[in-house]
Amino acid sequence: MFSFIKKIARKLIRKSTYIHHESLNKVSLVILILIDIFVLFNVFSGLNNISQWIFNPSEEIPCFSTIENYYTATNKESFALKAATIENLINHNNFSHFNNQNKLGKVSKLCDNYLRLEKEINTPDNIEIKADIEQIRTEISNLNQEIQTLQSQYDSTLLEKIAGQTPQNSINQTTADQIKSEIDTKTNQISNKKQQILQKQTRLIQVPAADAYLKLLNNTSEYKQIKKAYQSAQFWYPNKQLLLQTLFLLPLIIGAYFWHKNATIKNQGLQALLSWHLLLIFCIPLLIKVFEFIQFGNLIRIAIESIVTLLGGLLFVSNYVLILIIPLLGFGLIKFLQRFVFNQRIQAKKRIEKIRCINCNSQLRLNDRFCHYCGFNQYTNCPNCNQKTYKLTNFCRVCGHQLEQN
């Protein structure tokens, strides 16, 4: 097995670095590697772009996040939670970017009532109230910082007073009593501002649309239905991504394959080399995405979970399954390469028909035994009639005896 893989690796390297059996010079090899990196980067960029072409679960069910946060809160009836929920909806534009017509999919109708109420909540008056609340919170934050500064001054003044230091020698310009008075004043200001916030928040949640929205959030049947739809969207999203990414890569792979095949037949060495590199570059991301899907895909996970459940919860069974699947895929890939890419018999048949070297595809004269470019012997002796017949063919050209498939 190791020798077989080593043989395949040697062929891959040789096929990727040789033109007409001559190795590339270092400068050309560097240029080729840079081209590979550039193409690979753009392929992955294209995969990322096309994966964003479909609605993700949060875009398909845009109301789920708010509903989930509210429904799973410890105290759904608390004033603070209600106020925070309505505040987060204001100026948040939850509904603005989900109607993107350039994407595949659509927003779930389950969120229609939620999105309608969100729009009704986002009135100019409510937006202004939200801005006032934020401004007051900023003022409270500034007052707290000022209190901290005053508190440090107050503490140092007290220490000086305890130590018997005279006010003239104090590092602070004011006395402890004055500082304490300023702290109390600012503390009262903070208390008043918090009351202002409560009043404004009360106005927000008493808006008819806000009240209807909060009641809708408390609807258990609605929550369960939307959660089920969100879980379904989560399940299918990676599968849709893989499908789109595969559709993105397949034309590139097919195009590179036929370009390489045509260039090989016509003995166009440079084109054959470039198309071969492109074929590899396009296949690598596809293999990575397939392996990612096998390792993390929902369909595979469900299959493994079903097997584990049937076997009594033996989690290590999933590792056995993955250990089995990956080698099988690798074996399938190797067989594909041997059958379609490195199949010497298919190449030999076409080259014999065109009187070309079986090994390097160079043009020969009729009945040339050895290639005058690579020195390859075109013939072997038939075990039945002992006459010379072409290598890598199925039957003897003289007696029709079936040759061994080596």
pTM attached to this predicted model: 0.58
CA angle 128, 134, 136 (to 5 degrees): 105
Summarize pLDDT for 41-89 with one digit per residue, the tens: 898 888 888 888 888 888 888 888 888 888 888 887 889 888 988 888 8
Summarize pLDDT for 88-145 with one digit per residue, the tens: 888 765 444 444 556 777 888 888 888 888 888 888 899 999 999 999 999 999 999 9
Q: What distance in Å separates the CA atoms of residue 238 and residue 288, rounded to the nearest whole number?
A: 14
DSSP summary character for residue 25: P
Q: How many helices (H) and strands (E) does the chain have?
A: 14, 4
Task: List phi, psi (to 5°) of 206.
Answer: -90, -5
Contact predicate 209/120, CB 8 Å: yes
**Residue boundaries of the structural domains of the chain:** 343-406
Instruction: Kindly list the distances between the CA atom of residue 184 and the CA atoms of 10, 159, 180, 194, in Å, as whole numbers in the listed order.
Output: 82, 20, 6, 15
CA angle 333, 339, 345 (to 5 degrees): 155
Sign of CA dihedral 365, 370, 375, 378: positive
Q: Give which of 344, 342, 346, 372 is closest to 359, Cα–Cα.
A: 344
Q: Give which of 66, 47, 67, 65 is closest to 57, Cα–Cα.
A: 65
Tokens in use for 255? 């195009």
Q: So what's the pLDDT on residue 143?
A: 92
